[in-house]
Amino acid sequence: MPDRTAEVKVKIKHWGASLFLLLLSQQSMAEGTIEVLHWWTSKGESNAVGVLRKRMETNGHYWKNFAIAGGGGQSAMTVLKMRAISGNPPTAAQLKGQDIQEWGRLGFLTSLDTIAEQEQWDSVLLPEVEAIVNDLQLVKYDGHYVAAPVTLHRVNWLWINPHIFKLAGAKVPTTLAEFFVAADKIKAAGFVPLAHGGEAWQDATLFEAVALSVLGAQGYMKAFVELDLTALSDAKMVEVFRQFKRMKQYVDPDSTGRRWNQATEMLIHDQAAMQIMGDWAKGEFASENKVAGKDYLCVPVPGTQGMFSYNLDTITFFKLKGNEQDKIAQQDLARTLLTPSFQRDFSLYKGSIPVRQDVLLTDYDACSLASMKAFKLAAKNSALVPSFSHNLATSSDVQSAIIDVVSHFFDDPTADPKVAAMRLSRAVKSAM
């Protein structure tokens, strides 16, 4: 009887290879690709994105990283337009405000109505968030869900290094006048009073905070939401520019090109005393194991107590061609973004507060708790305002016009506040 051992071994090897290829094929069929365009690239933001990536990979999908650095998102929007025009849009993208409506009019967005109905999106959001997204059309186009709200941020925060304040003998400011007094003491003590990055959107964020302080919530709304041309050029706006210009002397000369998270690191490493930035900055403190109330303080921008300038991040979904598994993965992504557990874990890393009303805040720090309290109080008192510097209430054209005027003014030591206010009004009128 012939020895068939070698033949059996060959067949087993062949069957094993076939089985491996079959399993690999089935895995490929079951695995959809998820590609989300975003600009969450700082340490804290990357940790937050890691929460989403892990969820998607656990659900059997392939996560294709599509992060474009740049806190303002301008570079990301350029890349998105190129991808969409070429017929290869990503699964979803971090989009804001009226840009969502523009992409919808162009026919690029897909409906999430089925997911929204299954997950009861109409009833799980904080009532105040529901009012915002409906009023500003942040998640629907033509009556259909095309986006999911993900984070709620407070923009008008002043971050403080208490150690430097103590060394300088400075007092935590509650008014703009007190801010400048504290800044002078800190500068005299040899520290940078105001950590800032020389990027146009950061200039606009600082300007927005000063404008809210000088104008109040109603005056801010009239100028930057209603786009009242008189309010954009009157004496109060001149005062906004004047106070904004004073900030420049407390920024170090090396700020040009500095990213916002690098400015936050200056506070973390005892190089600077203050930063005016949204609460995504808190994610950077958390990534360095800093404790709110001890290693750093969060207080409203001086003069904006009781007001809440908000930034609401939304993920918008695009029509996909071909691969059904990618479409299944897209639906799974949409379903995940508003689940209570994801909302909790993501916002803990991101520094934001959750948009759902049923997420327990027991693990949140003092800054997040203060943010939620301030949000609800501001909503009750008609003191919630959308952040124009983060493109919520205006078109991209209007936002760009405002930012150009503001940033050029901040960089020009000879700039006249009265002239700047007139230029602002003219620029907005041309962009409308």
Report the sign of the C-alpha dihedral through residues 217, 387, 380, 213, in that order: negative
User: Residue 33: how many CA atoms within 13 Å on its side-chain side?
Assistant: 11
Residue 214 to residue 197: CA distance in whole angstroms: 22
Residues recorded for the chain: 432
Structure tokens at 125: 């959001």
What residue ranges of the chain have pLDDT lower than 50? 1-2, 5-29
CA angle 176, 178, 183 (to 5 degrees): 95
Report the sign of the C-alpha dihedral through residues 102, 320, 325, 41, in that order: negative
pLDDT of residue 72: 63
Distance of CA 198 to the CA centre of its chain: 18
pLDDT of residue 76: 82
pTM over cut 0.75: yes
Residue 359 to residue 124: CA distance in whole angstroms: 10
Helix or strand holding residue 123 (H, E): helix 121-124
Helix or strand holding residue 390 (H, E): none
Cβ 51 vs Cβ 349: under 8 Å: yes
